């Protein structure tokens, strides 16, 4: 093999992937951004007309609901998942004999498709035959749990299903984080007579900030992308009560034939994701380069 | 003295019981949906309507399973999940293999053959992992149409490979970075070339990370819905899309047992992988998302 | 002249930082060159440049009188042994040693022949079927050397090969390497931060600091005639004493005035033909400061000073006193009884002393 080829082979090998990423990630983003500034409907038009798609977007009541839902869902989903994950991780950290089996049970939902999860919870929360009926049969005749079909509460069913799926993963992350704390510091505290609860609140949890950050990033990312879950659980309904930006975009793109709206909503989604992920990635890569 | 010691022990025992109690509550929380899915799939519609959600089936029947597999309706076709199960297989296996291989050689280059710009390329690829895929749906649909892959299995393989490269490269790069650079130096002095070093030295070392990557990719691709629903047509849909069609079809009577059976069939492969190779799966989750 | 390695005017920088400056070194066939210096002095970088693993920015490197610019490591006819051994982890010892030959397309017979030869020489015959993970540190190092030996190279390069071994093993392996050098008559370039290794192994030493050569010379030259304060202090253990003093010219000789701990000034006479400035630093090794009656040195002179610390070290006893505002170590016989705080006589052999300019650090 000629020495020029040998010398440049690494670059040549990496090149196709590089080109692919440039085209299919950044090129496509650019295309979508371009289209979001046009009057495209069913077919893309390429004449830039300004911000009219974004104006339409922000005027749309359906988009309002979607964004609103994103914040409600995002906030609750992240908060409850982190809280549950932390509690379970702390409990599991207490030298439980069947820890391995428990971890497997807590984590298996992550292996499931969100469609499966949505389907399962759709059935569980079925008004009339699901959990509502079970509780009623226990004697609480006035118990109603029709959140699934209630426009005001439907979004919370997505939270329930989402938390079920993701909290096990958060637990795994936190458990690893808890265990990576320097054991010597903990021993010193125990010798000093610090009560266990205080050891957790004053020493362990504060030192876990990077893990919290990672969990937050992953959950935020999941929340913004959650499309499958809503489709399976509520179909976006009732009406569009559980719409999220992801489902809004899909509807605009493939059902309504409104590419301009689809593009602009997609770009907004991307901006939201970036504003969360970019600072994180930047600081991570910075740290790597300093090492 | 003796009193306070046994009081302490009592406290400890009470705390332990409390701990196990709470953990058991969570076990129920996580297992309940699976339990309900299985039991519901084994009941007759009659029993479902009249019985309780959480009761065990009185008469176990596999009828729903048969329906789910071969006759359930996914839109205008009523062939059950079987053809779509195979669609997912034909999509997932090539896509996993190709994206893993590409990730391996990419990771090798970025980790061990630092050249100017390698880090920037890596950063760009890493970045690409985080984008919401909504932002590429429209242009990808057009491009697939242009290269005549729209609605085809090959088209879906293509899409999954392209957007899988970022993750697979990340996994392999993080793994290869911890291999001492002196190994490559020694091999260079021994006369080995770029490809030879990869083949003889790095690949034999790569089993653990390959397992992690394959499991991660398989799970992602098998469970995918967004690409499936956007880029397939009636005959080429993956199993997740078919499942959704069965469950959310607006025609006829809701057959909850069939829905549940279908969900379990769709979940089976990744669930089995998880049960048998769980620790590698977890390694993939934490490696891919915690590290930058 | 059988030059095996000629480094001419080599410079290297990483961006704005200069890591090698005007490096000029020449060694002959059979030489054992040691590059020694503190971490970050550039010695490993220089070794990598000789190997062709890193590029130089200017200058030339000749191996066996051939210019090595643009020549890949595998074509330089060199072999290298690394600090971390760098054995291929998934291959057996046998495969590790024969890998290079296999890549070069040598026949199986030749590979086997050389393998047996080398494993016999290094006594690793019984390890051939094992993998690196199953070997001890010392065994791994031997295998790494085996891999190098089998190439029959023009130049052996060693990058701190003993730093990962424990003290006892290190001494054993050091002797092994020295014996190998003698048996093979091979040319070797060896990098270390341990000056004892440098002194015991080298035929020629290059002392480096911050990318500059501080001194090139035989171990004897480096030890007895260090070119500057850095070399004086770095080489030799315990380190050379560096004492501040003032000079006064007295006809043909110099009067050397050293401040004692109690404020008095002791005077010594330097009789050698030198030109000394007013302020100097005297470099004198502990073995050249001894107890009264220990050696009959014609030019040994006496200083009386307080004993601060006494350190018995088996065959010798180190006695520390304060001269010229520095802690000075003297080497006494272990039988000599010395009490802390007592005022005793020290015998200084000025003939063996070196003088340095306090501002430039250079040897006078």
- pLDDT reported for residue B14: 87
Contact residues on chain A for B109, CB-CB shorter than 8 A:
10-11, 13-14
CA separation for the pair C214, C330 (Å, rounded): 26
Structure token digits, residue C278: 């007013």
Condensed to tens digits (0 to 9), the pLDDT of residues C201-234 reads 999 999 999 999 999 999 999 999 999 999 999 9
Express each pLDDT in B63-109 by its tens digit. Answer: 889 989 998 888 888 888 999 999 999 999 999 999 999 999 999 99
Distance from CA of C58 to the nearest CA of B (A): 20
Query: Minimal Cα–Cα distance from C198 to chain B, Å?
Result: 23
| Neighboring chains of A (3 or more beta-carbon pairs < 8 A) | B
Residue for token pair 């890493």: B126
More confident residue, A266 or A93: A266
pLDDT at B5 over 70: no
| A56-290 to CATH, choices 1.10.3720.10, 1.10.10.10, 1.10.132.10, 3.20.20.70 | 1.10.3720.10
Contact B286, B215 (CB under 8 A): no
* pLDDT surpasses 80 at A142: no
Beta-carbon separation of B190 and C100 below 8 A: yes
Interface test with C, best of B176, B182, B189, B201 (most C CBs within 10 A): B189
Q: What's the pLDDT score for residue B292?
A: 30
Q: Cβ of B197 under 8 Å from any chain C Cβ? A: no
**CB-nearest partner of B191 from C74, C87, C91:** C74
Encode pLDDT of B216-256 as tens digits. Answer: 899 999 999 999 999 999 889 999 999 999 988 767 778 88
- For residue A238, is the peptide bond before it cis, meaning its omega torsion is within 30 degrees of 0? yes
Q: Which residue ranges make up each domain of chain A?
A: 56-290
**Cβ count within 10 A of residue B43:** 24
Instruction: Give the SS3 label for residue C168.
Output: helix
Distance from CA of B274 to the nearest CA of C (A): 28
The whole-angstrom separation of Cα C178 and Cα C184 is: 10
Mutate to test the interface with C, among B114, B190, B204 (most CBs of C within 10 A): B190
Whole-prediction pTM: 0.84
What pLDDT, on a 0 to 100 scale, did the predictor assign at position B4? 63
> Do residue B201 and residue C104 have CB atoms under 8 angstroms apart?
no
Show the tokens assigned to A140.
Answer: 């609480």
Picking from C78, C84, C89, the nearest residue to B189 by CB comes out as C78
Confidence of residue C298 (pLDDT cuts 50, 70, 90): low
Burial class (CB in 10 A: 0-12, 13-18, 19+), C122: buried
Two structure tokens written together for B151: 């609605």
Q: Do C103 and B188 touch (CB under 8 A)?
A: no
Rounded Cα distance, A57 and C242, in Å: 80
Query: ipTM of this predicted complex?
Result: 0.86
Query: pLDDT band at C1, cuts 50/70/90?
Result: low
- Stretch C246-250: mean pLDDT, rounded? 87
Question: Can you give the pLDDT at residue A249?
Answer: 92
Least confident of C160-169, C188-197, C288-297: C288-297
Whole-angstrom distance, CA of residue C158 vs CA of residue C46: 12
Cβ–Cβ gap C73/B180 under 8 Å? no
* CA closest to A14 among chain B residues: B106
Could you give the 3-state DSSP secondary structure of residue C361? coil
Chain C CB contacts of B191 below 8 Å: 74, 100, 103-104
B180/C103 touch (CB, cutoff 8 Å), yes or no: no
CB B283 within 8 A of CB B212: yes
Taking residues C251-270, report their average pLDDT.
Answer: 84
Identity of the residue in A88, A130, A253 whose CB atom sits nearest the CB atom of B26: A88
Q: Which domains does chain C have, with CATH numbers?
A: 3-234 (3.40.50.300), 241-356 (2.40.50.140)
Q: How confident is the model at residue A285 (pLDDT cuts 50, 70, 90)?
A: low
The reported pLDDT for the residue numbered C155 is 94
**A-B Cβ pairs (cutoff 8 Å, strict):** 261
Mutation target among B18, B110, B131 for the A interface, most CBs of A within 10 A: B131
Q: What is the pLDDT of residues C74-128, one digit of tens each?
A: 899 999 999 888 899 889 999 999 998 998 889 999 999 999 999 998 889 999 9
Contact C53 B205 (CB under 8 A): no
Identify the band that residue B290 occupies on the pLDDT scale cut at 50, 70 and 90.
Answer: very low
Residue B281 C-alpha, separation from nearest chain A C-alpha, in angstroms? 9
* pLDDT at position C325: 84
- In the prediction, which pLDDT does C237 show? 82
Q: What is the per-residue pLDDT for B77?
A: 83
Which residue of C86, C90, C99 is in closest CB contact with B182? Answer: C86
- To the nearest whole angstrom, how far is the Cα of B30 from the nearest Cα of chain A? 6
Give whole-number Cα distances, A78 to A81, A259, B44, B97, C283, in Å.
5, 31, 38, 33, 69
Q: In the predicted model, is pLDDT for residue B280 greater than 70?
A: yes
Q: Mean pLDDT, to the nearest integer, of A59-75?
A: 91
Mutate to test the interface with A, among B18, B130, B187 (most CBs of A within 10 A): B130
pLDDT of residue A115: 92
User: How big is the CA angle at B16 (ends B12 and B17), to the nearest 5 degrees?
Assistant: 120
- What average pLDDT score do residues C337-349 get? 88
Higher pLDDT, A63 or A131: A63
CA distance B197 to chain C (A): 10
Interface subset of A 5-44, CB within 8 angstroms of B: 6, 9-11, 13-14, 17-18, 20-22, 24-29, 31-32, 35, 44
Whether A148 and chain B come into contact, CB under 8 Å, resolves to no
- How near does any CA of chain C get to the CA of B204, in Å? 7
For residue C354, pLDDT over 50 is answered with: yes
Angle at B45 between CA B42 and CA B48, to 5 degrees: 75
Instruction: Tell me the per-residue pLDDT of B22-66, one tens digit each, with 9 for 90 and over.
Output: 888 889 999 999 999 999 999 888 888 888 888 888 888 898 899
**Does residue B1 register a pLDDT over 60?**
no
Q: Does C133 touch chain B (CB under 8 A)?
A: no
- Taking an 8 Å cut-off on Cβ atoms, the answer to whether B196 and C83 are in contact is no
Structure tokens at A126: 């079925």
Which pLDDT value is given to residue B289? 45
Q: Is the pLDDT of residue C53 over 50?
A: yes
**Of the candidates B215, B238, B217, B53, which has an alpha carbon nearest to the alpha carbon of residue B155?**
B238
Cα separations in angstroms, C53 against A51, B54, B116, B270:
55, 68, 16, 46
Q: Out of A97-101, B103-107, C11-15, C278-282, which region has the weakest mean confidence (pLDDT)? A: A97-101
Provide the mean pLDDT of chain B.
Answer: 88
End-to-end CA, chain A: 36
């Amino acid at each position: 093999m000629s020495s020029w080829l040998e010398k440049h082979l690494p670059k040549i090998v990496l090149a196709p992937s590089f080109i692919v990423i440039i085209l299919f990630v950044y090129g496509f983003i650019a295309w979508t951004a371009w289209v979001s500034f046009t009057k495209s409907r069913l077919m893309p038009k390429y004449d830039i007309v300004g911000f009219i798609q974004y104006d339409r977007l922000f005027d749309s009541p359906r988009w309002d609901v979607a964004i609103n839902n994103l914040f409600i869902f995002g906030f609750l989903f992240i908060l409850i998942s982190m809280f549950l994950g932390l509690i379970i991780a702390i409990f599991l950290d207490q030298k439980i004999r069947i820890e391995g089996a428990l971890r497997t049970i807590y984590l298996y939902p992550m292996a499931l498709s969100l469609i499966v999860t949505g389907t399962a919870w759709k059935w569980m929360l079925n008004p009339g035959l699901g959990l509502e009926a079970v509780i009623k049969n226990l004697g609480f005749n006035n118990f109603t749990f029709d959140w699934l079909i209630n426009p005001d509460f439907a979004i919370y069913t997505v939270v329930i299903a989402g938390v079920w799926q993701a909290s096990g993963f958060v637990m795994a992350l936190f458990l690893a984080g808890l265990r990576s704390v320097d054991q010597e510091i903990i021993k010193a505290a125990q010798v000093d007579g610090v009560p266990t609860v205080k050891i957790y609140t004053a020493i362990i949890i504060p030192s876990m900030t990077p893990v919290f950050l990672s969990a937050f990033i992953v959950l935020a990312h999941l929340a913004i992308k959650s499309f499958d879950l809503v489709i399976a659980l509520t179909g976006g309904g009732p009406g569009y009560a559980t719409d999220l930006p992801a489902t809004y975009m899909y509807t605009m793109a493939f059902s309504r034939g409104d590419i301009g709206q689809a593009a602009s909503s997609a770009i907004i989604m991307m901006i939201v994701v970036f504003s969360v992920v970019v600072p994180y990635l930047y600081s991570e890569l910075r740290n790597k380069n300093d090492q | 003295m003796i009193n306070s010691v046994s009081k302490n022990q009592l406290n400890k025992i009470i705390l332990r019981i409390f701990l196990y109690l709470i953990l058991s509550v969570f076990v129920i929380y996580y297992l309940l949906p699976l339990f309900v899915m299985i039991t519901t799939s084994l009941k007759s519609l009659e029993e479902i309507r009249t019985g309780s959600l959480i009761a065990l089936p009185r008469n176990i029947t596999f009828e729903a399973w048969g329906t789910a597999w071969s006759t359930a309706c996914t839109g205008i076709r009523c062939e059950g999940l079987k053809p779509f199960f195979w669609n997912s297989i034909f999509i997932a296996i090539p896509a996993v293999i190709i994206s893993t291989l590409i990730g391996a050689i990419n990771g090798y280059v970025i980790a061990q053959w630092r050249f100017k710009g390698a880090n920037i390329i890596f950063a760009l690829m890493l970045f690409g992992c985080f984008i919401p895929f909504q932002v590429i749906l429209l242009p990808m649909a057009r491009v697939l149409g242009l290269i005549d892959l729209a609605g085809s299995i090959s088209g879906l393989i293509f899409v999954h490979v392209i957007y899988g490269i970022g993750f697979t490269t990340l996994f392999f790069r993080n793994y290869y970075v911890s291999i001492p650079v002196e190994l490559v130096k020694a091999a260079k002095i021994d006369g080995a070339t770029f490809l030879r070093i990869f083949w003889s030295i790095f690949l034999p070392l790569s089993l653990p990370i390959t397992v992690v990557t394959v499991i991660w990719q398989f799970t992602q691709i098998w469970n995918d819905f967004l690409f499936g629903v956007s880029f397939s047509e009636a005959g080429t849909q993956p199993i997740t899309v078919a499942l959704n069609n069965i469950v959310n079809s607006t025609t006829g009577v809701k057959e909850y047992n069939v829905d549940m059976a279908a969900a379990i069939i769709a979940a089976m492969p990744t669930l089995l992988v998880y049960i048998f190779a769980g620790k590698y799966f977890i390694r993939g989750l934490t490696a891919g998302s915690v590290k930058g | 002249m059988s030059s095996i390695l000629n480094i001419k005017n080599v410079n290297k920088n990483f961006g704005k930082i200069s890591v090698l400056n005007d490096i000029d070194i020449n060694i002959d066939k059979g030489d054992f060159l040691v590059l020694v210096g503190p971490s970050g002095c550039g010695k490993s970088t220089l070794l990598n440049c000789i190997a062709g693993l890193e590029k130089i920015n200017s200058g030339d490197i000749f191996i066996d009188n051939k210019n090595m610019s643009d020549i890949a490591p595998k074509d330089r006819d060199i072999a290298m042994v690394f600090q971390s051994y760098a054995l291929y982890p998934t291959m057996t010892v046998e495969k590790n040693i024969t890998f290079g030959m296999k890549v070069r397309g040598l026949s199986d017979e030749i590979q086997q022949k050389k393998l047996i030869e080398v494993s016999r020489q290094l006594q690793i015959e019984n390890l051939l079927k094992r993998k690196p993970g199953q070997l001890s540190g010392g065994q791994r190092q031997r295998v790494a050397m085996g891999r190098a030996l089998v190439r029959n190279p023009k130049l052996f390069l060693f990058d701190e090969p003993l730093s990962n071994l424990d003290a006892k093993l290190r001494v054993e392996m050091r002797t092994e390497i020295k014996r190998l050098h003698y048996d093979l008559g091979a040319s070797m370039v060896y990098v270390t931060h341990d000056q004892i290794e440098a002194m015991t192994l080298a035929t020629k030493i290059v002392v480096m600091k911050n990318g500059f050569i501080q001194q090139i010379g035989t171990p004897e030259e480096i030890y007895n005639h260090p070119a500057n304060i850095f070399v004086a202090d770095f080489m030799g253990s315990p380190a050379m004493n560096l004492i501040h003093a003032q000079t006064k010219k007295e006809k043909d000789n110099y009067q050397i005035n050293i401040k004692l701990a109690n404020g008095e000034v002791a005077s010594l006479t330097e009789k050698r033909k030198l030109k000394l400035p007013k302020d100097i630093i005297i470099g004198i090794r502990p073995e050249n400061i001894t107890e009264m009656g220990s050696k009959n040195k014609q030019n040994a002179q006496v200083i009386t000073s307080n004993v601060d610390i006494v350190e018995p070290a088996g065959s010798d006893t180190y006695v520390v006193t304060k001269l010229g505002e520095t802690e000075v170590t003297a080497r006494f016989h272990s039988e000599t009884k010395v009490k802390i705080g007592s005022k005793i006589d020290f015998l200084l052999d000025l003939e063996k002393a070196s003088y340095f300019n306090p501002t430039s650090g250079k040897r006078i």
